[in-house]
């Protein structure tokens, strides 16, 4: 059996306050008490390891080593293989090895791979946390953190400013002013299929394409994308769309069609929506939720192991979400976008591997409720109800 190191492996030592306090009280001095943790881009969670494990991992070269050469550490090797901190060519550890191979094949930059993998939520319920711990409203934020940084920023406050001409307002300004986040959806209202079609085509649909070489096709969409690659895919969780069954769909951006993935009963769709948006009930009532998931390999094809590639994917999602808001607003619907999602729920629902293609954020739209139960930020008073 041959041993290997994972593609991206990180170790962190954390102090244990309880252990340090016990040392001090016993008269042993301050010392350094705590635990080592390992994280890797192919693992779902961090794992606690022993200090001696660091020296063992250090002895495994990049090209691998026969386990027999480290026979004196057989127990530690078996534990690290089970945890996924070490890899092997043995079939018993094929799962870890396959996920690590997928990370390598996708062309991830190490720190970005760790951030994407380890920032995934699962089972988080924001509303339940607020009920248990209290809502972090403005009074609590001020008490905990003091005043925020100033809302305005001047680089050279001593220099006289240059006055600009008054901007001429157009219809676009009115649309932008009406764009607000909706936190109160009508739980009984539906969206016409034609309206969903329009929004999907405007926001996620390919408006044109160009083959730069055989098999290398770049798309033109209504938003910018790093390298012109457009790696973001739209997956829909439909609850109430006229003429469309509740369930899961994938939007094919060139053909402008919905690919049915799984039908759902209404109650199942509602439960999935709430879990997907991490218990944010004020978003879960939206008739349609759209998961933006990135095909990282498309982006990393041009920018393999690049320090900026993952950042650009996040920018792509931001551009798309603004177009989503504007299109929904123009049609008289409320909209939202949130990054506070249960990523691993999204992976289960839409069968994503989280490495080659993973969740970024969720948008949604629908008719606003007549009554505003949850507070919305609308200082211009432009939201249409």
- Whether 160 is covered by a domain: the verdict is no
For 113-166, how does the pLDDT look when each residue is reduced to its tens digit (9 = 90+)? 999 999 999 999 999 998 898 888 888 889 999 999 898 888 988 899 999 999
Q: What is the predicted pLDDT for the residue at 305?
A: 94
Block mean pLDDT (10 aa), the chain, length 385: 94 78 56 85 94 94 91 91 95 95 94 94 94 87 91 89 94 95 96 98 96 92 95 98 97 98 98 98 97 96 95 97 97 97 98 96 96 87 73
- How high is the mean pLDDT of the chain? 93
- Whether 157 is covered by a domain: the verdict is no
- Whether 192 is covered by a domain: the verdict is yes
Q: What is the predicted pLDDT for the residue at 16?
A: 76
| Domain shared by 338 and 195, yes or no | yes
Question: In the structure encoding, which two tokens stand for residue 325, read together?
Answer: 């808001």
Angle at alpha carbon of residue 316, lines to 311 and 276, rounded to 5°: 90
Q: What is the predicted pLDDT for the residue at 153?
A: 87
Q: Which residue bears the tokens 């043995």?
A: 90
Quote the pTM value. 0.90
For 191-245, how does the pLDDT look when each residue is reduced to its tens digit (9 = 90+)? 999 999 999 999 999 999 999 999 999 999 999 999 999 999 999 999 999 999 9
Residue 146: partners with Cβ closer than 8 Å, 6 or more residues away:
none
| Domain shared by 70 and 187, yes or no | no
Residue 255's domain comprises 173-366
Q: Which residue bears the tokens 């690590």?
A: 100
Q: What is the predicted pLDDT for the residue at 331?
A: 95
| Domain shared by 199 and 60, yes or no | no
- Whether 228 is covered by a domain: the verdict is yes
| Domain shared by 85 and 215, yes or no | no
Other Cβ atoms within 10 Å of 358 Cβ, number: 21
| CATH classification of the domain holding 321 | 3.40.109.10
- Whether 240 is covered by a domain: the verdict is yes
Orientation angle between helical segments 309-330 and 171-178, nearest 10 degrees = 100
Residue 367: partners with Cβ closer than 8 Å, 6 or more residues away:
185, 186, 189, 191, 287, 332, 333, 334
End-to-end CA gap in the chain: 66
- Residues 23 and 30: their CA atoms lie apart, in Å, by 6
For 130-140, how does the pLDDT look when each residue is reduced to its tens digit (9 = 90+)? 889 888 888 88
| Domain shared by 58 and 179, yes or no | no
Domain count of the chain? 2
| Domain shared by 196 and 345, yes or no | yes
| Domain shared by 305 and 199, yes or no | yes
| Domain shared by 66 and 181, yes or no | no
Other Cβ atoms within 10 Å of 19 Cβ, number: 14
134-162 burial, b if ≥16 CB within 10 A, otherwise e?
A: eeeeeeeeeeeeeeeeeeeeeeeeeeeee
- Whether 260 is covered by a domain: the verdict is yes
Residue 69: partners with Cβ closer than 8 Å, 6 or more residues away:
none
| Domain shared by 219 and 314, yes or no | yes
């Amino acid at each position: 059996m041959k041993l290997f190191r994972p593609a991206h492996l990180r170790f962190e030592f954390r102090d244990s306050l309880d252990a340090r306090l016990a040392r001090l009280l016993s008269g042993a001095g301050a010392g350094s008490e705590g635990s080592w943790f390992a994280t890797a881009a192919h693992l779902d969670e961090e794992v606690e390891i022993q200090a001696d494990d660091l020296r063992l991992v250090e002895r495994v070269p990049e090209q691998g080593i026969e386990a027999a050469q480290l026979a004196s550490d057989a127990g530690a090797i078996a534990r690290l293989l089970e945890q996924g901190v070490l890899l092997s060519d043995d079939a018993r550890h094929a799962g870890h090895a396959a996920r690590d191979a997928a990370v390598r094949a996708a062309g991830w930059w190490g720190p970005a791979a760790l951030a994407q993998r380890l920032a995934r939520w699962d089972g988080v319920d924001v509303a339940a946390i607020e009920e248990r711990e209290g809502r972090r409203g403005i009074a609590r934020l001020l008490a905990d953190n003091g005043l925020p940084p100033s809302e305005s920023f001047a680089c050279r406050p001593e220099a006289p400013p240059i006055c600009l001409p008054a901007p001429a307002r157009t219809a676009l300004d009115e649309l932008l002013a009406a764009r607000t986040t909706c936190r109160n959806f009508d739980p009984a209202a539906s969206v016409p299929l034609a309206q969903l079609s329009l929004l999907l085509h405007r926001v996620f649909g390919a408006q044109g394409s160009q083959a730069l070489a055989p098999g290398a096709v770049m798309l033109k969409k209504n938003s910018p994308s790093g390298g012109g690659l457009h790696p973001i895919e739209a997956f829909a969780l439909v609850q109430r769309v006229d003429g469309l069954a509740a369930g899961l769909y994938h939007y094919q951006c060139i053909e402008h069609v919905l690919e049915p993935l799984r039908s759902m009963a209404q109650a199942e769709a509602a439960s999935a929506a709430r879990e997907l948006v991490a218990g944010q009930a004020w978003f879960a009532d939206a008739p349609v939720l759209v998961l933006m998931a990135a095909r990282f390999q498309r982006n990393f094809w041009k920018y393999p192991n690049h320090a900026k590639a993952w950042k650009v994917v996040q920018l792509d999602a931001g551009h798309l979400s603004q177009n989503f808001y504007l299109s929904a607003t123009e049609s008289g619907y409320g909209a939202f976008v949130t990054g506070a999602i249960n990523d691993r729920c999204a992976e289960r629902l839409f069968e994503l591997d989280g490495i080659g293609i993973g969740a970024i954020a969720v948008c949604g739209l629908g008719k606003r409720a007549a009554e505003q139960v949850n507070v919305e930020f609308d200082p211009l008073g432009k939201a249409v109800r």
